[in-house]
Amino acid sequence: MTRALMIQGTGSDVGKSLLVAGLARAFTRRGLTVRPFKPQNMSNNAAVTADGGEIGRAQALQARAARVAPSVHMNPVLLKPQSEVGAQVVVQGRMIGTAKAREYQAWKPRLMESVLDSFERLRGEADIVLVEGAGSPAEVNLRKGDIANMGFARATGTPVVLVGDIDRGGVIASLVGTQAVLEPDDAAMIRGFIVNRFRGDPTLFADGMALIAARTGWSPFGLVPFFPDAARLPPEDAVALDAPQGRRDGAGPLIAVLRFPHIANFDDLDPLRQEPGVGVVFVPPGTPVPAEADLLILPGSKTTIDDLECLRAQGWDIDIRAHLRRGRRVLGLCGGYQMLGRSIADPKGIEGAPRTLPGLGLLDVETVMTDAKRLVAVTGTTLADDEPFAGYEMHVGDTTGPDTARPLLRFSDGRADGAVSRDGLVAGTYVHGLFADDRQRAAWLARLGAAPGSSRYEAGIEAVLDRFADHLEAHLDCDGLLRLS
């Protein structure tokens, strides 16, 4: 029988996703066939799968750690927030509709059928399935109909290990308190705990580990020291953008990225953020675009028209025109590309109420939202310099107009994508992941006057996954986790 182990957390962003990725790499290196699984995820950072759907970015990274192609069954329910109270619902890779938070609760029983179907499919092809929970099981007000944490664990008989983040403080209370609020049958599913992101002398927390074990009856599986290189792995949640940002030292180019309220697929910028000598700053609402920026990027958006309205409300449209008057470049990615055109029309109400909004008018193109979503991996080259790229399309909407006669990219199948302004300063594309190819990224930086870098992005991700697996093997009882599964 295929083994399974579920990693839940005392809250969001305690490190569940990366722990699953690290364990996936560690167990894969031991010769096991591993599959990651997250019953329900909420994220606007998504990835396209080989089977033509979309899943959370974290599950794509976990699949990579397990050295397998990502599948829609690794994240059968994906919620993509469109407002403070509503989200697009993606089931087994395909959007089935949108729901308000309260409406979604009524959907859960039928969604559980898809969750269990996907889980069984993965069990049929693996030695062990590593399951990641969502949020925290301590949110007992949401326990009825739960498909993400204890509801799933109970339905499948999957043992749970609970993770607490000591870097936040209060880890003893969060672990012991989680047990205190759970119903006894739910609490019985938790068999052990992990304390994550410890800094300092681990012997100073030995008594803390013993106290948690004594209060809960759970087995301690390890105290994981803080792993700085985790920041080099693609993040899933926009909370990662709240971390302090480094600015350039004056020697290299500065790239500014507008941080829309509904920013999506912001991992597009990770390869640039990790490039030595390059400054990348995310510009939050209420902050002007830095006058010294060499390149301004309008990233993807889950609700393009709403974020375009926000852009204008912040006065960023004025900043963009001033940026162009200084002879600097602007690049739009997916939703950001749509904003650069003359208009965006949503006649079917794909993103909300049907409406049409004037765009920024920096590209002579128009976009019409459609109910067909394009989800496909792509490869090709940039027309300007014939440098290669590999990425993916994930968008609704068709963009047409005179400036598309000057496309930015040429796909391997001969299709063209994107548009470039007559003066060459403004460009847009639907392709995500453009900068991950080292040669493509170097070409963009060369346009900004940067010297060729030595960064190897994809190889760097692999190296970090291996080092993190080593880190977990050294500090966790991985043999014990396998016995528990």
Catalytic annotation, residues:
334, 432
Contact 81, 62 (CB under 8 A): no
Contact 34, 130 (CB under 8 A): yes
Q: Is residue 169 exposed (0-12), middle (13-18) or buried (19+ Cβ within 10 Å)? A: exposed
How far apart are alpha carbons 179 and 10 in whole angstroms? 10
Q: What are phi and psi of 300, to 5 degrees?
A: -70, 160
- Residue 335's contacts (CB-CB under 8 Å, 6 or more residues apart) are 260, 264, 298, 299, 300, 301, 302, 304, 307, 395
Write out the DSSP string of 12-26.
TTSSHHHHHHHHHHH
Strands 77-81, 160-165: pairing is unpaired
- Residue 273's contacts (CB-CB under 8 Å, 6 or more residues apart) are 280
Q: Residue 437 half-sphere exposure, CB side, CA atoms within 13 Å?
A: 19
Contact 32, 55 (CB under 8 A): no
- Burial string for 127-148 (b: 16+ CB within 10 Å, else e) reads bbbbbbbbbbbbbeebbeebbb
